[in-house]
């Protein structure tokens, strides 16, 4: 087959919607109603056109490879037998006009929710590729057929040119995607964002799209995102999920965050989730729930590293490597006796620099800054500020370590607008 020597050109969806569709004999078939792509590709190839007849017939899906010309109108070549091609859309295909125009999208480059005003395609070698989403005012004017008038008006009266605002398709994921395949695409792309950015996006969406996006995420990403989300929205997201799925996500959260969330849920819902969680994790969370939320006991996590004084620095490193995934913090290793009484503290940096054979009792700092279970956030904040630490242990009346407060968790209590 000869190589098509046509030059590369850009087309906009607004410019080709409604164009006449004819066969090679010039007989009208209808008008172009939509374009079909598989959105999984970085720059999706248009695979089909949707033709709407002026008669009350069902729309016809015609492969793009049968489109012979699109200069002013689309000409469709018949198949070998003379019949017009046609087929049914697959579940993993997307109708661009229906799914994207005027819809919200996530710009995973800038981590913002935007509205689609137009779509730009690259036409090259008889193929049409979706390359950009237009989210600017210029796109709206183009759809209204007023872009040239607007350009002249702005240049003449204000000496100003309105620029295009395009987002590369590879940084975009549509939100109005109900089927599982498209949700799995959402997961793959959204999971690359920082959880705090994902939380901002989810908070900006309406309740239906918010739920769809959140439930499409893998368990680990969902847990990290939930920790960064406003508590009221956390509750709504979990209330819309089955207890089994909720339990899987909450198990991946830090214990303190998990306890805070379950404490905000209706008791019946929280109890149902706790029953589905691993017993050991559930027991730890239940223990945290016994403490008032605005006290040291309510702010602490019980997933922290501790060791006996006889352990060597090398053994401590092996222990941290082995258990780190299950810990909410490894900034410090707390040294305790067999009864969990707090004896000292060692920073991770000091352990890394120490001779592997040295015992922890010879490395630890016995001047440990600690707070009681009933200490209030303002008093705890003073300790953080005074000593410049990133975590503070919580002890009971007998000096037994019960948990550790992370600075992030304290910040959420004293300055919620900064902590989340």
Number of compact structural domains in the chain: 3
For the beta sheet containing 342-347, the strands, ordered from the edge strand earlier in sequence to the opposite edge, are 306-307, 332-336, 342-347
What is the model's pTM? 0.63
Give the Cα-Cα-Cα angle 213, 218, 220 (nearest 5 degrees): 120
Domain end position, chosen among 127, 146, 164: 164
Check whether residue 42 and residue 127 sit in a common domain: yes
Axis-axis angle for helices 267-276, 231-239 (nearest 10) = 70
Instruction: Determine, yes or no, domain membership for 173.
Output: no
273/397 Cα distance (integer angstroms): 32
State the residue range of the domain holding 42.
1-164
412/420 Cα distance (integer angstroms): 6
169/37 Cα distance (integer angstroms): 12
CA distances from 340 to 25, 344, 360 (A): 89, 11, 15
CA distances from 166 to 134, 147, 161, 169 (A): 5, 16, 16, 9
Look at strands 371-372 and 67-69 and give their pairing.
unpaired
As a 3-state breakdown, the chain gives helix, strand, coil percent values, each rounded to 5, of 40, 25, 35
Q: Which SS3 state, helix, strand or coil, does residue 32 take?
A: strand
Is the CB of residue 377 less than 8 Å from the CB of residue 383? no
Which of 140, 139, 121 has the alpha carbon at shortest distance from 131? Answer: 121
Instruction: Determine, yes or no, domain membership for 296.
Output: no
Instruction: Determine, yes or no, domain membership for 183.
Output: no
Q: Which tokens hold the place of 230?
A: 């406003």
CATH of the domain at 385: 3.10.580.10
Look at strands 306-307 and 172-174 and give their pairing.
unpaired
Q: Provide CB contacts within 8 A for 134, sequence distance 6+.
A: 12, 116, 117, 118, 119, 120, 142, 164, 165, 166
Show pLDDT as tens, one digit a residue, over the chain (420 residues): 333 334 447 889 998 898 888 888 888 888 899 999 988 777 888 999 988 876 667 788 888 888 876 666 788 887 654 555 556 777 778 889 988 888 888 777 777 788 889 999 988 777 888 988 898 888 888 888 888 888 888 888 777 887 888 888 877 777 655 444 444 556 667 777 788 888 887 887 777 778 878 888 889 989 999 999 999 999 999 998 999 999 999 999 988 899 999 999 999 999 999 999 999 999 999 999 999 888 999 999 999 999 999 999 999 999 999 999 889 889 899 999 999 999 999 999 999 999 999 999 999 999 999 999 999 999 999 999 999 999 999 999 999 999 999 998 888 887 765 555
168/155 Cα distance (integer angstroms): 27
Instruction: Determine, yes or no, domain membership for 184.
Output: no
Check whether residue 20 and residue 158 sit in a common domain: yes
């Amino acid at each position: 087959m000869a190589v098509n020597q046509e030059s590369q050109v850009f087309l906009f969806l607004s410019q080709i919607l409604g164009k006449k569709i004819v066969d090679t004999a010039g007989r009208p078939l209808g008008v172009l109603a939509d374009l079909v792509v598989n959105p999984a590709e970085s720059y999706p190839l248009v695979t089909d056109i949707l033709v709407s007849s002026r008669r009350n017939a069902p729309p016809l899906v015609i492969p793009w490879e049968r489109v012979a010309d699109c200069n002013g109108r689309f000409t469709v070549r018949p198949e070998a037998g003379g019949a017009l091609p046609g087929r049914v859309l697959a579940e993993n295909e997307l109708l661009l006009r229906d799914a994207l125009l005027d819809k919200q999208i996530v710009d995973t480059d800038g981590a913002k929710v935007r509205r689609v005003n137009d779509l730009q395609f690259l036409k090259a070698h008889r193929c049409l590729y979706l390359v950009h989403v237009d989210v600017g005012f210029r796109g709206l004017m183009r759809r209204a057929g007023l872009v040239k008038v607007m350009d002249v008006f702005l240049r003449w009266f204000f000496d100003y040119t309105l620029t295009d605002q395009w987002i590369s398709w590879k940084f975009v994921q549509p939100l109005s995607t109900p089927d599982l395949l498209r949700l799995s695409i959402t997961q793959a792309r959204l999971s690359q964002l920082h959880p705090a950015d994902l939380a901002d996006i989810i908070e900006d969406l309406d309740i239906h799209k918010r739920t769809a996006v959140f439930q499409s995420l893998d368990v680990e990403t969902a847990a990290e995102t939930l920790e960064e989300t406003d508590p009221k929205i956390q509750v709504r997201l979990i209330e819309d999920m089955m207890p089994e799925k909720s339990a899987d996500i909450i198990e991946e959260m830090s214990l303190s965050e998990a306890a805070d969330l379950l404490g905000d849920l209706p008791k019946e819902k929280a109890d149902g989730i706790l029953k589905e969680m691993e017993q050991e994790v559930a027991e730890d969370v239940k223990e945290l729930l016994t403490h008032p939320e605005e006290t040291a006991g309510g702010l602490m996590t019980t997933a922290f590293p501790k060791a006996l004084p006889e352990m060597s620095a090398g053994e401590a490193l092996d222990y941290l490597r082995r258990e780190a995934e299950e810990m909410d913090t490894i900034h410090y290793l707390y040294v305790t006796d067999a009864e969990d009484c707090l004896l000292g503290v060692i920073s991770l940096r000091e352990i890394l620099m120490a001779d592997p054979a040295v015992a922890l009792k010879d490395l630890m700092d016995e001047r440990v800054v600690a707070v009681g279970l009933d200490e209030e956030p303002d008093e705890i904040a003073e300790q953080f500020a005074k000593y410049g630490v990133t975590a503070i242990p919580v002890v009971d009346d007998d000096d037994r370590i019960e948990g550790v407060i992370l600075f992030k968790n304290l910040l959420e209590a004293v300055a919620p607008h900064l902590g989340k």
